[in-house]
Chains A and B, each alone.
Chain A
Amino acid sequence: LAKTTQPISMDSYEGQEVNITCSHNNIATNDYITWYQQFPSQGPRFIIQGYKTKVTNEVASLFIPADRKSSTLSLPRVSLSDTAVYYCLVGPETGANNLFFGTGTRLTVIP
């Protein structure tokens, strides 16, 4: 199981773009990179998933360099409601037992 390392916390002002980087040096060939968001007293919510290069959806972008040893979640123009914990997960295409949430990054958006 590829271990992930993220910053423990980040602060950002409203309207700014936020980039959260996740390090996963021992990622395996078949591993996907997935990000979840969790608000206080709620269950995590899927944000985005990718394997390589760049993935974009309506809420975020995920940048993955060629060596795949890190990835960056990009949140455009954050608002106060984006204050949450963001988890980076790395795991294989089979094997639910490898669902491991790392420590996560606590993002605080400041008005």
Chain B
Amino acid sequence: DTEVTQTPKHLVMGMTNKKSLKCEQHMGHRAMYWYKQKAKKPPELMFVYSYEKLSINESVPSRFSPECPNSSLLNLHLHALQPEDSALYLCASSQGTAYQETQYFGPGTRLLVL
């Protein structure tokens, strides 16, 4: 099984809402990632978890809060977002965090902030 699943597929939220994105993998991977992708732009790395510990935070605003409850799950908690946060949010995983290791991406959650 080389699948990374993400829920929900689509999400519409107001600027005062709190919502969460969920990502799951059962490949035994120890590194998991969150990316943000705006339309017609490349993915941008947000967070990296290695062995369930946050190892990279690419200066992401605090209204995005990642969580790794266990080695298979990765959440992204959203609170007080802005319309410019509307984007495709991608989750990925890899065996480890060495660069040459293949990252497996989920289909993404398309977020619209009103």
- What's the least CB distance linking A51 to chain B, in Å? 8
Interface status of B98 (Cβ within 8 A of chain A): yes
Interface status of B74 (Cβ within 8 A of chain A): no
Q: Mark A88-111, 1 if CB is under 8 A from B, else 0.
A: 000111111111111110000000
Please determine whether B99 and A46 come into contact, CB atoms closer than 8 angstroms.
no
Please determine whether B108 and A99 come into contact, CB atoms closer than 8 angstroms.
no
Residues on B with C-beta less than 8 A from A46 are: 102-104
Contact of A42 among B44, B92, B107 (CB under 8 A): B107
Residues on B with C-beta less than 8 A from A34 are: 100
**CB within 8 Å of B: which of A40-76?**
41-46, 49
Residues on A with C-beta less than 8 A from B31 are: 96
Interface status of B110 (Cβ within 8 A of chain A): yes
- What's the least CB distance linking B99 to chain A, in Å? 4
Interface status of B97 (Cβ within 8 A of chain A): yes
Contact of B4 among A43, A92, A104 (CB under 8 A): A43
Please determine whether B56 and A97 come into contact, CB atoms closer than 8 angstroms.
yes
Interface residue tally on B, bucketed by range: 20 to 34
Contact flag A95-B99 (CB < 8 Å), given A43-B92, A101-B43 = yes
Residues on A with C-beta less than 8 A from B55 are: 96
Please determine whether A43 and B108 come into contact, CB atoms closer than 8 angstroms.
yes
Please determine whether B43 and A44 come into contact, CB atoms closer than 8 angstroms.
yes
Please determine whether A43 and B42 come into contact, CB atoms closer than 8 angstroms.
no
Please determine whether B105 and A91 come into contact, CB atoms closer than 8 angstroms.
no
Please determine whether A96 and B50 come into contact, CB atoms closer than 8 angstroms.
yes
- What's the least CB distance linking A34 to chain B, in Å? 7
Please determine whether B105 and A44 come into contact, CB atoms closer than 8 angstroms.
yes
Residues on B with C-beta less than 8 A from A99 are: 33, 45, 99, 103
Residues on A with C-beta less than 8 A from B92 are: 43
Please determine whether A96 and B33 come into contact, CB atoms closer than 8 angstroms.
yes
Interface status of B90 (Cβ within 8 A of chain A): yes
Interface status of B106 (Cβ within 8 A of chain A): yes
Residues on A with C-beta less than 8 A from B98 are: 93-94, 96
A residues within 8 Å of B by Cβ?
32, 34, 41-46, 49, 87, 91-104
